[in-house]
Amino acid sequence: MEKLVSLCKRRGFMFQSSEIYGGINGFWDYGPLGVELKRNIKDAWWRDMVTGHDDLTQLPGAPGSYEMTGLDCTIIMHPQVWKCSGHYDLFHDYMVDCRESKRRYRHDQIQGRWVEAKGKKIFATAGSDSEAPEADLERQALKFFGMRSKNADELKWDGPLASLTTVDDFELVLGPDAKTLGTLTAPREFNLMFKTTIGALGGEADSAFLRPETAQGIFVNFKNVVDSSRVRVPFGIAQVGKSFRNEITPRNFTFRSREFEQMEIEFFCHPDSSAEWYTYWRDRRFKWYLDLGLDEGKLQLRDHDQDELSHYSRGTADVEYAFPFLPEGEFGELEGIAHRGDFDLRSHMEGKLDPATNPLTVELNEDGKPRHRGSGKDLSYRDDLTGERFIPHVIEPSAGADRATLAFLCEAYTEDEAPDDKGKMQSRVVMKLHPRIAPIKAAIFPLVKKDGMPEMAQDLYRTLKKDWNVFYDEKGAVGRRYRRQDEAGTPFCVTVDGDSIQDNTVTIRHRDTLEQWRVKADDLTDELRKLIG
Ligand code: GAP
Tell me the CA–centroid distance for residue 266 and ligand 1, in Å: 15
d(C-alpha 196, C-alpha 202), whole Å: 9
Query: Atom 6 in ligand 1: which residue has the minimum CA distance?
Result: 336
- What pLDDT does 395 receive? 98
At residue 421, the pLDDT reads 79
Mean pLDDT within 215-236: 97
For ligand 1, the distance from its centroid to the CA atom of residue 398, given in whole angstroms, is: 7
Report, as an integer, the average pLDDT of 66-88. 96
Determine the atom of ligand 1 nearest the C-alpha atom of 247.
Answer: 23
Per-residue pLDDT, averaged over 456-466, amounts to 97
Percentage of the chain modeled with pLDDT above 90 = 90
The alpha carbons of the chain give a radius of gyration, in whole angstroms, of: 28
Q: Would you state the pLDDT for residue 436?
A: 97
How much distance in Å is there from the Cα of 497 to the middle of ligand 1?
49
Distance 257 CA to ligand 1 centre (A): 10
Q: Are 300 and 312 in contact (CB under 8 A)?
A: no
Q: What integer pLDDT is reported at residue 116 of this predicted model?
A: 96
Cα-based angle 284, 288, 292 (whole degrees, multiple of 5): 165
The pLDDT-based confidence of 204 (bands split at 50, 70, 90) is confident
262 CB near ligand 1 (under 6 Å) = yes
284 pLDDT band, cuts 50/70/90, is very high
Full-prediction pTM beyond 0.75? yes
Q: Which of 14, 92, 237, 403 to mutate to test the pocket of ligand 1 (most atoms within 8 A of CB)?
A: 403
341 Ramachandran zone, left/alpha/beta (phi>0; psi -120 to 50): left
Predicted confidence at residue 154, as pLDDT, reads 94
- E strands, 345-451, are 353-354, 361-362, 381-382, 389-390, 393-400, 413-419, 425-431, 442-446
| Other C-beta atoms lying within 10 Å of the C-beta of residue 475 | 9
Confidence of residue 310 (pLDDT cuts 50, 70, 90): confident
Q: How confident is the model at residue 432 (pLDDT cuts 50, 70, 90)?
A: very high
Which among 463, 474, 455 has a CA at the least distance from the CA of 522? Answer: 463
* Residue at 331: amino acid letter: F
Q: In percent, how much of the chain has pLDDT > 70?
A: 100
Q: Ligand 1 centroid to 265 CA: how many Å? A: 13
User: What values do phi and psi take at 30, rounded to 5?
Assistant: -100, 125
Among 456, 470, 468, 467, smallest CA distance to 506 is for: 456
Nearest residue by C-alpha to atom 4 in ligand 1: 213
Mean pLDDT to the nearest integer, 89-93: 89
Q: Could you report the per-residue pLDDT of 158-187, keeping only the tens digit for each? A: 999 999 999 999 999 999 999 999 999 999
**DSSP bridge partners of 126:** 111
Which tens digits make up the pLDDT trace of 376-404?
999 999 999 999 999 999 999 999 999 99
Identify whether 359 is preceded by a cis peptide bond (ω within 30 of 0): yes
CB distance 240 to ligand 1 below 6 Å:
no
Cα–Cα distance, 143 to 125 (Å, whole number): 13
pLDDT given at position 123 = 96
Asked if 474 and 457 count as a contact pair (C-beta separation under 8 A), the reply is yes
If you take atom 20 of ligand 1, which residue's CA is the nearest one? 256
Question: Which is the closest atom of ligand 1 to the Cα of 213?
Answer: 4
CB 4 within 8 A of CB 413: yes
Q: Is the pLDDT of residue 127 over 90?
A: no
120 has pLDDT over 90: yes
Strands 353-354 and 332-341: unpaired
Q: Please state the three-class secondary structure of 213-244 as a single string.
A: CCHHHHHCCHHHHHHHCCCCCCEEEEEEEEEE
Q: What's the residue count for the chain?
A: 533
> What's the CA dihedral at 94, 317, 408, 42 to 10 degrees?
-90
Which whole-number Å values give the CA distances from 499 to 112, 482, 528, in the listed order? 68, 20, 20
CA–centroid distance, 299 to ligand 1, in Å, is: 17
* pLDDT tens readout for residues 134-160: 999 999 999 999 999 999 999 999 999
Asked whether residue 423 carries a pLDDT value surpassing 90, the answer given is no
User: pLDDT digits over 462-503, tens only?
Assistant: 999 999 999 999 999 999 999 999 999 999 999 999 999 999
Q: What is the mean pLDDT of the chain?
A: 95
pLDDT the model gives residue 438: 98
Find the mean pLDDT for residues 52-64.
Answer: 97
Q: Are 109 and 249 in contact (CB under 8 A)?
A: yes
Does the pLDDT at position 205 exceed 80?
A: no
Cα separation values, 408 from 251, 289, 336, 489, Å: 18, 9, 17, 11
237 lines ligand 1 (CB under 6 A): no
Q: Tell whether the model's pLDDT for residue 214 goes beyond 80.
A: yes
Mutate which of 93, 398, 402, 409 for ligand 1 pocket (most atoms within 8 A of beta carbon):
398
Ligand 1 midpoint to CA 399 (Å): 7
- State mean pLDDT over 270-278: 97
497 lines ligand 1 (CB under 6 A): no
The confidence score (pLDDT) of residue 467 equals: 96
DSSP state letters, 301-328: EEEPPGGGS-TT-S-EEEEEE--TTSPT
Q: How far apart are CA 89 and CA 101, in angstroms?
A: 30
Nearest residue by C-alpha to atom 19 in ligand 1: 400
Phi and psi at 94, nearest 5°, equal -100, 140
Atom of ligand 1 nearest to the CA of 403: 16
